[in-house]
Structure 1
Amino acid sequence: MAKLDGKVALITGAAAGLGEGIATAYAKYGAKLCMVDLSKDVEKTAQKLRQEYGAEIITVIANVADKEQMKAAAAQTIEAFGALNVACCNAGVCRLAPFEEMPDEIRDFHIDVNIKGVWNTCQSVIPYMLKNGGGNIVIASSVTGDIVADAGEAAYAMTKAALVGLTKCLAVEYADRNIRVNCSQLGYARTPMVEKMAVESNPADPERAIMDIAKGVPMKRLAKPIEVGELFAFLGSDESSYLTGSQIVIDGGSTLPETMSIGTN
Structure 2
Amino acid sequence: MTKLEGKVALITGAALGLGRGIAQVYAKYGAKLCLVDLAPQLETTAQELRQEFGVEVITVTADVADASMMEEAVAKTVAQFGQLNIVCSNAGVCRLAPFENFDAAMRDFHIDVNIKGVWNTCQAGIKQFLEQGGGTIVIASSVTGDLVADAGEAAYAMTKAAMVGLTKALAVEYADRNIRVNCTQLGYARTPMVEKMAQESNPEDPESVITGIAQSVPMKRLADPKEVGELFAFLGSDESSYLTGTQIVIDGGSTLPETIGMGTN
Query: Would you say same fold, with TM above 0.5?
Result: yes
What is the TM-score normalised by the length of structure 2? Answer: 1.00
The 3-state SS of whatever aligns with 1:124 is helix
The 3-state SS of whatever aligns with 2:183 is strand
Which residue type is aligned with residue 240 of structure 2?
A: S
Matches within 5 A, 1:65-144: 65-144=65-144
Matched residues in 1 for 2:136 and 2:31: separation?
13
The aligned residue for residue 199 of structure 1 is 199
The aligned residue for residue 221 of structure 2 is 221
Matched residues in 2 for 1:131 and 1:240: separation?
22
The aligned residue for residue 237 of structure 2 is 237
Question: What do residues 4-37 of structure 1 show as CA deviations (whole Å, max 9, x unaligned)?
Answer: 0110000000001000000001000010000000
Instruction: Give the Å deviation of 1:3.
Output: 0.1
The aligned residue for residue 28 of structure 2 is 28
Matched residues in 2 for 1:124 and 1:254: separation?
34
**Alignment: residue pair count:** 265
Structure 1 residue runs of 4 or more that deviate by more than 3 Å after TM superposition: none
Instruction: Give the Å deviation of 1:41.
Output: 1.0
The aligned residue for residue 60 of structure 2 is 60
Q: Is residue 2:165 matched to residue 1:168? A: no
Matched residues in 1 for 2:45 and 2:78: separation?
21
Matched residues in 1 for 2:6 and 2:99: separation?
46
The 3-state SS of whatever aligns with 2:34 is strand
Matched residues in 1 for 2:197 and 2:155: separation?
14
Gaps of 5+ in 1: none
Matched residues in 2 for 1:137 and 1:114: separation?
16
Which residue type is aligned with residue 175 of structure 1?
A: A
The aligned residue for residue 44 of structure 2 is 44
Matched residues in 2 for 1:133 and 1:200: separation?
45
Matched residues in 2 for 1:238 and 1:263: separation?
41
Instruction: Give the Å deviation of 1:40.
Output: 2.5
Matched residues in 1 for 2:179 and 2:109: separation?
29
Matched residues in 1 for 2:123 and 2:133: separation?
16
Instruction: Give the Å deviation of 1:127.
Output: 1.2
RMSD of aligned Cα (Å): 0.4
Instruction: Give the Å deviation of 1:62.
Output: 0.3
Matched residues in 1 for 2:218 and 2:249: separation?
14
Gaps of 5+ in 2: none
The 3-state SS of whatever aligns with 2:159 is helix
Which residue type is aligned with residue 59 of structure 1?
A: T
Matched residues in 2 for 1:51 and 1:207: separation?
33
Matched residues in 2 for 1:125 and 1:264: separation?
49
Matched residues in 2 for 1:189 and 1:221: separation?
9
Matched residues in 2 for 1:212 and 1:264: separation?
20
Which residue type is aligned with residue 91 of structure 2?
A: A
Instruction: Give the Å deviation of 1:259.
Output: 0.6
Instruction: Give the Å deviation of 1:140.
Output: 0.2
Instruction: Give the Å deviation of 1:39.
Output: 1.3
The 3-state SS of whatever aligns with 2:83 is coil
Matched residues in 2 for 1:126 and 1:40: separation?
28
